[in-house]
């Protein structure tokens, strides 16, 4: 039985197959409308979510399956002190596959140890968010036609942003990737990622000003400052509007640069940018459904 806890759980060859399936679903969704008839997905979300939870639910329903779950730890027996290990043993009796989000890093790994069904990590603290990475990679592959040979700028909260951490781990496996990390000093990329890049001899640079590197980028991945991971409100307020991408700033960027964002957005991309043809963040949302349909089929061995 397979699970998805980290983007590295799939080889690049397996990812190619998954993305081929997601693209086939995009071309002809009706062909897959009954693949999961009789199957049940449980969504166990101990943290807020719009996209991840609802796209999983939409994916399962579009495949003909059904959905159970909770969207708030307080409406589950976690509020009475039940552990993740016990919860997944229970969920294993009710569902065929489980997508889980939890504020604690490693929670999905704990669940896997006791699970009788495939577990998908829908985000664990500031650690990993592998299905967002699948969404990001499918978007890039679909809109650019390749997954290597890019200069990618990651901008904003690189310290707490789990989507960023997952995406970097996935992209280092492709050739010709160069990273530009754009963040205030307080929200720098963690040292363990810097060490990993040095070890693999992957080129990267850390900068503070977005304008200084915008002309160099093939891809710009904007992120929200993660209010929920700050220890004090004062630091959050000081840093939350550090970067705001505007139409004016975008004049510095290449005509074919893609603007990505895992969403939700707060202030870091001005709404006027939404009409720019380079803005791909709402397209990402749609690709997120196709790739989760492909992932459910793959983990249930229905692909």
- Residues near ligand CP (CB under 6 A) are 49-52, 123, 132, 262-264
Please give the structure tokens belonging to residue 279. 């803005």
The residue (of 69 and 262) whose beta carbon lies closer to ligand CP is 262
Residue 197 CB, nearest approach to ligand CP (Å): 24
The residue (of 10 and 281) whose beta carbon lies closer to ligand CP is 281
Residue 164 CB, nearest approach to ligand CP (Å): 12
Handedness of CA 62, 67, 73, 75 (dihedral sign): positive
Residue 143 CB, nearest approach to ligand CP (Å): 18
Active site residue 261: no
One of 53, 62, 129, 141 is an active-site residue; which one? Answer: 129
The residue (of 35 and 219) whose beta carbon lies closer to ligand CP is 219
Active site residue 109: no
The residue (of 154 and 213) whose beta carbon lies closer to ligand CP is 154
The residue (of 243 and 287) whose beta carbon lies closer to ligand CP is 287
One of 43, 52, 133, 151 is an active-site residue; which one? Answer: 52
Active site residue 101: yes
Residue 135 DSSP one-character state? H
Axis-axis angle for helices 281-299, 12-27 (nearest 10): 110
Residue 88 CB, nearest approach to ligand CP (Å): 20
One of 51, 127, 240, 261 is an active-site residue; which one? Answer: 51
Instruction: Give ∠ CA 235-167-14 in degrees, rounded to 5.
Output: 160
Q: Going by C-beta distance under 8 Å and a sequence separation of 6 or more, which residues neighbour residue 45?
A: 52, 53, 69, 70, 71, 72, 100, 101, 122
Distance of alpha carbon 202 from alpha carbon 185, whole angstroms = 21
Active site residue 50: no
Q: For residue 244, which phi and psi values (nearest 5 degrees)?
A: -135, 115
Active site residue 52: yes
Distance of alpha carbon 202 from alpha carbon 196, whole angstroms = 9
Q: Going by C-beta distance under 8 Å and a sequence separation of 6 or more, which residues neighbour residue 22?
A: 138, 287, 290, 291, 293, 294
Residue 30 CB, nearest approach to ligand CP (Å): 27
The set of catalytic residues is 51-52, 80, 101, 129
């Amino acid at each position: 039985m397979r699970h998805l806890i980290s983007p590295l759980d799939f080889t690049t060859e397996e990812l190619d197959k998954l993305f081929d399936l997601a693209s086939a679903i995009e071309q002809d969704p009706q062909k897959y409308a009954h693949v999961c008839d009789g199957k049940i997905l449980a969504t166990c979300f101990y943290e807020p979510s719009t996209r991840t939870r609802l796209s999983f639910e939409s994916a399962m329903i579009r495949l003909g399956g059904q959905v159970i779950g909770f969207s708030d730890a307080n409406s589950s027996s976690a509020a009475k002190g039940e552990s993740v290990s016990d919860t997944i043993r229970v969920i294993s009796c009710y569902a065929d596959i489980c997508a889980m989000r939890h504020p604690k890093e490693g929670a999905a790994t704990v669940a896997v140890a006791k699970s009788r069904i495939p577990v998908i990590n829908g985000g664990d603290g500031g650690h990993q968010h592998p299905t967002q990475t699948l969404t990001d990679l499918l978007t890039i592959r679909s809109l650019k036609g390749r997954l290597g040979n890019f200069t990618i700028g990651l901008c904003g909260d690189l310290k707490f942003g789990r989507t960023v951490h997952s995406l970097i781990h996935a992209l280092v496996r492709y050739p010709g990737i160069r990273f530009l990390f754009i963040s205030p000093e307080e929200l720098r990329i963690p040292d363990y990622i810097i060490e990993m890049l040095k070890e693999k001899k992957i080129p990267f640079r850390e900068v503070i000003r977005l304008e200084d590197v915008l002309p160099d980028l093939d891809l710009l991945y904007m992120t929200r400052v993660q209010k929920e991971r700050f220890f004090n409100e004062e630091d959050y307020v000081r840093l939350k509007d550090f970067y705001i991408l505007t139409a004016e700033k975008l004049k510095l960027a290449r005509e074919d640069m893609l603007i990505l964002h895992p969403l939700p957005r707060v202030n870091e991309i001005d709404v006027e940018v939404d009409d720019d043809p380079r803005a791909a963040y709402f397209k990402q949302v749609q690709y997120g459904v196709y790739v989760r349909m492909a992932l459910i089929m793959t983990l249930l061995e229905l692909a």
